[in-house]
Amino acid sequence: MKNNPSGISGFYRSTNNCRHTVRIAVKLIDAVDETALRKALDIAVKRYDYFSVKFVLKDEVLHSVVPNDEPIVITNSSEPVTLLSEESNFHALAVNYFGDTVYFDMIHSITDATGIMEFIKTTLYYYITEEYKTSLPSDNIRTAEMPVSDEERRDPYLDIETSDEQQDSAKKPDMPSAVTWDKIMDIDTGSQTVFEIEFSEAEFVDYCKKNGSTPAIMLANMFAKATFGLCEKFDAPFRIVLMKNYRAFLKKPLAHNNITGVIALNYTDEMRGLTSEKLNGICRQMAAYQSTDEYMQSALQRKLYNERKILALGDLEKIREAFRGASKENLRLVNLTLSYVRMNTLGALEPYIKSVRTYVDPSGSHVIVEANALNGKFFMNIMQDFAGNALSEAFINELKSAGIKVSGGAEQELSCPKMRI
């Protein structure tokens, strides 16, 4: 069992007001049966024993990830329990259900959305076969009979060496954006809200093809246009960050850890008013450069070098202060984070699922957008740590102007998993 999982910096950066956790809500075609869910969850947890863990403080310096033999908590409520507390049997994972929806809550330091979706697929596979007394093909499902390989279990970041020489030679990223949200709108970070929308995948993909874009870059550019529309003039760039799955680059497709990098798209005022085709071309070039092996290797070495240097401080409070201080520079910036997951591997599970939505705490960058594609639709959550629908309405209008029909969009209170710090 590894001691310092990929993403551990998120755990140490976490505060009571900024938690690095993830909730994935799966809406099913029928009301949830707790008995079938309990049976399915126990099978899945036995196979994915690396998710059945707790964080233990060793020598008042660093937390270690150790096995947790207590059962995963299942709660009949949409309100999340507190992870790493008595409520969750001190697990980093908990499951809720309410009506027809199952909620999977997890600490982001353990895994990312790709990793937790594999766990969810296995759980749903056994839930559906039990609940409907049916057999399903297990293509793209990690079943209980499938052995857990070393590649799946081991954190690939542990195999990457870092040094002062590598740090000196690593390519430095572009300077962070200078524009802050208060230059665009009045924001009060006293509340967290979410706007849930959905729209046709076919209509959106067709629009992307017509404009020479990928779905992720098109979504980013639509949010960029929405942001341009909220401010007449930008005196410095703003940034939209696309989450990058590093599994293919590391040649570790089975790894479960939080293995993500970023692609930063910087938008200057000179890009205002460009056609979708021209804007997509510029952003595709930025994304292509940041997707080269050389760039990703440098970014990864720089990240791991800085994290290992902080973890070597040998004092828990100094470690927390260093990780939290490193993220403060982004807290006021126009730094929108976009995560897009194509749920195209659900296979035989798909007819039993109405929607999949992802919820995360937006405190780290003010706005986080999660988009999942399933059953021919995009299910998108726009999450803010401030109230007001100016940004979401502007984005929805961008979709509508492209001829894409949109439903939903009402402002709701955001409920994210909590964890004991």
Percent of the chain with pLDDT over 90: 68
pLDDT at residue 172 above 80?
Answer: no
Low-confidence winner among 83-97, 124-138, 340-354, 370-384 (lowest mean pLDDT): 340-354
pLDDT at residue 59 above 80?
Answer: no
Average pLDDT over residues 228-236: 91
Strands 377-384 and 367-374: antiparallel
Place 321 in a pLDDT band, splitting at 50, 70 and 90. very high
Place 62 in a pLDDT band, splitting at 50, 70 and 90. confident
Question: Which of 66, 59, 44, 55 has the alpha carbon at shortest distance from 20?
Answer: 55
pLDDT at residue 1 above 50?
Answer: no
What's the confidence (pLDDT) of residue 4?
61
Torsion 275-279-284-289 (CA) sign: positive
CB 53 within 8 Å of CB 67: yes
Q: For the segment 2-44, what is each residue's pLDDT rounded down to a tens digit?
A: 556 788 888 898 887 778 899 999 999 999 999 999 999 999 9
Q: In angstroms, how far is CA 401 from the centroid of its own chain?
A: 28
Question: Which of 108, 104, 73, 70 has the alpha carbon at shortest distance from 87?
Answer: 73
pLDDT at residue 257 above 50?
Answer: yes
In the chain, the N- to C-terminal Cα span, in Å, equals: 22
What's the confidence (pLDDT) of residue 278?
93
What's the confidence (pLDDT) of residue 357?
95
What's the confidence (pLDDT) of residue 171?
60
Rounded Cα distance between 383 and 378, Å, is 16
Q: In angstroms, how far is CA 255 from the centroid of its own chain?
A: 16
Q: Which residues pair with 23 in a beta bridge?
A: 105, 359
Q: For the segment 293-305, what is each residue's pLDDT rounded down to a tens digit?
A: 999 999 999 999 9
Rounded Cα distance between 391 and 222, Å, is 11
Place 181 in a pLDDT band, splitting at 50, 70 and 90. confident
Query: Which residue segments constitute the domains of the chain, with CATH numbers given?
Result: 8-159 (3.30.559.10), 176-419 (3.30.559.10)
What's the confidence (pLDDT) of residue 173?
61
Average pLDDT over residues 370-381: 92
DSSP 226-245: HHHHT-S--SS-EEEEEEEE
What's the confidence (pLDDT) of residue 115?
92
pTM, 2 dp: 0.94
> Other CB atoms closer than 10 Å to residue 248's CB: what's the count?
10
Rounded Cα distance between 112 and 416, Å, is 15
What's the confidence (pLDDT) of residue 17?
76
